[in-house]
Structure 1
Amino acid sequence: MSAFSRKVAELTGTAEERIERLAGGDLSEVLLVPRGDGRAAVAKPAIGGAEAAMLRSIAAAGVPAPLVEAEYEGILLLDFVANDGIFSPAAWREIGSALHRLHARAGESYGWPVDYRLGTVELSNRPQSDWPRFWAEHRLVSTASVLDRPWRERVEALAEQVAELLPASPPPAHLHGDLWSGNILVAGGQLAALIDPACYHGHSEVDLAMVALFDTPPDEFWESYGPLDEGWEERRPLYQLFPALVHLRLFGPSYAGMVDRLLGEYGC
């Protein structure tokens, strides 16, 4: 077992051999910890209290999220949420309506009270009133800044066009920020919880673009979410570029083709 699992065992008073590693957890170690009362908890590294606050904020919007049990010495303990992984049309319909509720919880500006990170990718959430500038600087250029020069130059060229491609001041929706099926738990045809958030306030189309990048939500999802603003299809590749760049940084050249395709949508 790892140093993290030993620390979790000590904190929770659980025998280390009873702790299991959960599937997934691409960016950090995630453990299943049985408790004495028959329940189970999920233990994962804490990022300065930010994830706990994000999960509470999602729940406050009326969207299912794991309950935060405790946070101590860099360990975040959450209630375990059972799921069957079956994304039925009924489940997608509920996901769509829940996401609409989350996005309706608007902020006063774009960003979040604290910065965050996805693995080794640092995310600046410094508040901005100019949405295209936030997206260009804090999501595209900053994420590409450590990539090879050809990637950086292509992203920078696209960043110069962003003000012409995105609305200047869409409602600052409450975003999940890392929305794909791996971060959506479903059970019995219902949404069980949204997990692993990277929340900030921004254009609602950001979450919708990401969930469509790695999954193919059926009509039920789009119908329950509700109508989208004109031009959303033209904006989608620009919003999908950010998670593609993150994956290129974290997981390597297998995502180069995706980034190349999305940049090519705008002639960059």
Structure 2
Amino acid sequence: MGWARRIELVTVVVAAVVAVVGLWYSNVQTMQAHEQAQQANSQAQEDRALAKEGQITDRYTAAVGNLGEDKMDVRLGGIYALQRIMQDSRRDQPTIANVLATYIRTHAAKPAAEGQGIPADLQAAFTVLVGRDVTHDGTFRVDLHGAKLPGLDSTGTGETAIDLRGADLRGTDLRGAQLSGANLLGANLDGADLRDANLNAADLREGRLRVTDLRRTDLGSADLRGTELRGAGLRGAFLGGVDLSDTDLSGADLRDVKGLTRAQIDAMRGN
């Protein structure tokens, strides 16, 4: 092989090596640029998350502060601000729901003045509380035990289901309350006052309503399967279409009840 041919081969090899090195270096630069872009993007995301968290914290602090104001419209603004935060930040829902429940309990510890209904802020807090998305509740359960809420109206929730499943409503005053279609699955209503309330088509399965006052209450088409109603007062209540399968009515007052059939009696427990 002549020198010219050898020189030509060496030139080709060198060119190939230079090309490979160039490609490797270009690839390294591309990878480094990509890593830097990812790091910058990750940092930007962290910055945005921190900024959003700070905004939510500021909004939450302001909203809770409004709950302690004297003016009704300011308190209402605080309640609806908490509702918006609850929708924007799922992880904060249990905390906000607990704040609303506590607000209701503490502000409804005493009955309203004669002839006055439930204040607008309590009605609003209740509407927001029972209309939340319960899939974000975690371990939270509504606690309104002992609250004085006669005449409570849940119609303000619109098409949103009234969700009070597992709620603690012991001793709660709900006389004349409008709770049609409410989900009260497993709720504790022991000793509650539900006289003249509307519980039409409500889900009360596996609930506890021992010694509960249900006089003249509309329970039409309600689901009371497995519910404890021992010692409950049902005088004059409407029980048309109620599912009383395995319901414990031991010692309950069933005088003058309306809509009760022989089949319902046979399905229930107790005397």
TM-score for the superposition, normalised by structure 1: 0.25
Q: Which has the larger radius of gyration?
A: 2
Higher relative contact order (CA 8 A, sep 6+): 1
TM-score for the superposition, normalised by structure 2: 0.25
